[in-house]
Structure 1
Amino acid sequence: MSNYGTNNHSHRHDEEQALLNGTPVTVTEVNDTFYGRTFRHVHTHRKRYFALWLLAAISAVSIVLALFHYEKNKHQGGNEDGDLEGLLSKPPSVCQSDRSYPITILLSIFFGYVGIDRFYLGYIISALLKLATAGGFGIWYIIDIVLIVIGGLPDHNGCSLVAP
């Protein structure tokens, strides 16, 4: 005699009964591993992690810009008149690099997270660190783009990049 419609699998019956009762079914093999718990935690708090990363990136960029402008104004002397011409002009003793400014910007935007821009400028050790940390978890990547755009990152000899 066949038992049509009966279920001889107790494990499957427990899962079906849990679904009918409205209780969540947990798979202990996946959720009890370190990866499973970490993934669940990050997935639950992903908006907070993104906001924290964004706050750190904005803070780092603003600190870099403030330090850049402080150093630039310190070397310019007292600019009491408030004219921008003295701030934007370069001192005549700055050497010109053989590295191209547009190529450096493009390398920094597209391959900066692996340190190609630092390799191109001749900073080998910091390029390796940037490669190992995936662009400083994205923050160093953004800082380098800002530094290159404002002209605050020279080549390894200290010479300014050549603009077209």
Structure 2
Amino acid sequence: MNRRLLRVGVRLHPDKGMFRLHDLGADPTSVQAPPPPGTDLVSVGYDQMWIGSLQDDVEITLLLEEWDAEPPSSPGPWEQEAFSELYLRGAVAVCTATGEPVLHGVRLAGGVGRYHMAVRAQHRAEMARLYDGLLDRFRDGFSPEFQAALRELQGVEHYLVQLWPAQPPAPPRVIPDLPF
């Protein structure tokens, strides 16, 4: 039976409509870095990925899970899904597009290696529509009414990122002591 080893939930602002999940040593300007996702859900490089949102003024909720093997199908009305692989050196981090750390160096029980990733999203299009509706209803973005309505939208857009080792760990190799 597959086991969940880690679950971390955070809220963050997807600056410029995206946030980055990456290895601690990943350089967002390297040749192996992916381009921004645009309106796609993900854009993947060797050791990092951009996850896209359709807005950037409302906090989103991110749930990050590590599993020892492929997780069971995730319940819920996920509107979009993407599957990929990343190379991680035993830890994973999340930051905003401007580089602000959100999660820094969450240790992975699976250690160093390639990881399968499942990224699932819900309420992306709905949040963009609701936020546009706020801008149409309120001309002053600093008014108490606008701010109260904006608080109602915080954290509604959800992302679930599940990762598990691409290859099951090899059994430990025991080398017997040999007499000389």
* TM-score, length-scaled by structure 1: 0.20
**Structure of larger gyration radius:** 1
Higher relative contact order (CA 8 A, sep 6+): 2
* TM-score, length-scaled by structure 2: 0.18
